[in-house]
Amino acid sequence: MERDAVIVAGFGFRGAVEVASLVDALSKARQGHAVQALATAADKAQTPAFRAFSEGLGLPVVCIDKLALAVQVTQTQSEASAVARNTGSVAEASALAAAGKGARLIAPRVISDDRMATCALAEGEGP
């Protein structure tokens, strides 16, 4: 039996991010896609704004470890992400890692208007 594809929204964000920034980034990246899960770096998943955001959406959060972030091939390249996280884009790497087998980027990284959050979408077979 073939599984339906899973769409994951991956996020990167600054420590002082607010829920509005995450909402803005998701709305820019979503492009009409129905998102089934959220993902971010494991150490950022418990950030108060991200927790409030994910709880408000009622979506599961996939926590991505450092190694899983680093092995993803990202479409965009942020110097800050490369230095801090060893990846070109935390949002893209998180989305790809969480989307699982056959993951492909369907919306590259977008940046919230206040530049506090990024979001990317990936589609795959799921974890």
pLDDT category, 126, cuts 50, 70, 90? confident
Is the residue at 1 inside a domain?
no
Does 113 reside within a domain?
A: yes
Please give the model's pTM, rounded to 2 decimal places: 0.92
Helical (H) or strand (E) element with 19: helix 19-30
pLDDT in tens, 66-112: 999 999 989 888 888 877 887 879 999 999 999 999 999 999 999 99
**pLDDT above 70 (res 1):** no
Asked whether 120 and 7 are in contact (CB, 8 A), the reply is no
- Is residue 92 within 8 Å of 99, Cβ to Cβ? no
Residue 61's CATH number: 3.30.420.180
Instruction: Provide the 3-class DSSP secondary structure of residue 79.
Output: helix
Instruction: For residue 71, tell me if it sits in a domain.
Output: yes
